[in-house]
Amino acid sequence: MIGKLNHVAIAVPDLKAAAWTYRERLGARVSVPQAEPDHGVTVVFVELPNAKIELLHPLGANSPIAKFLERNPDGGMHHLCYEVEDIIAARDQLKAKGARVLGDGEPKIGAHGKPVLFLHPKDFAGTLIEIEQV
């Protein structure tokens, strides 16, 4: 069911510093910051040959990553995103195998304009998982 790794999302307290690190220290291709008010984040996309890294910084009062940064003030890995062909089929298989789907269980349109769901970290080795239909 699981396809390619689409991105690794890293919550960062300082978006400029994190973008600098990836661009100047690692020599990666790095986008300008993009505000995503619907998702409560500002994102810098880092393009690698085989996947993306997304540097996430809180935007607005109810950002979903604000609490994470309170617990992890230096930043850290927030979630992994795996591609699936059919998000409804993937969700139903995952639920049948005992995985918890976050929210109301209905896919939302994610930061790339494609349907996504999030899965409970306790069911995936302590890692928040996003699945995205590609």
Catalytic residues: 130
Tokens standing for residue 101: 């789907």
Q: Is the Cβ–Cβ distance between 107 and 94 less than 8 Å?
A: no
Check binding of 131 to Co ion (CB under 5 A): no
Give CA–CA dist 18/30, Å, rounded.
10
Give CA–CA dist 97/53, Å, rounded.
29
Site string for Co ion, 45-84 (x = CB under 5 A): ------------------------------------x---
Min separation Cβ 39 and Co ion, Å: 9
Check binding of 10 to Co ion (CB under 5 A): no
List of residues contacting Co ion (CB under 5 A): 9, 81, 130
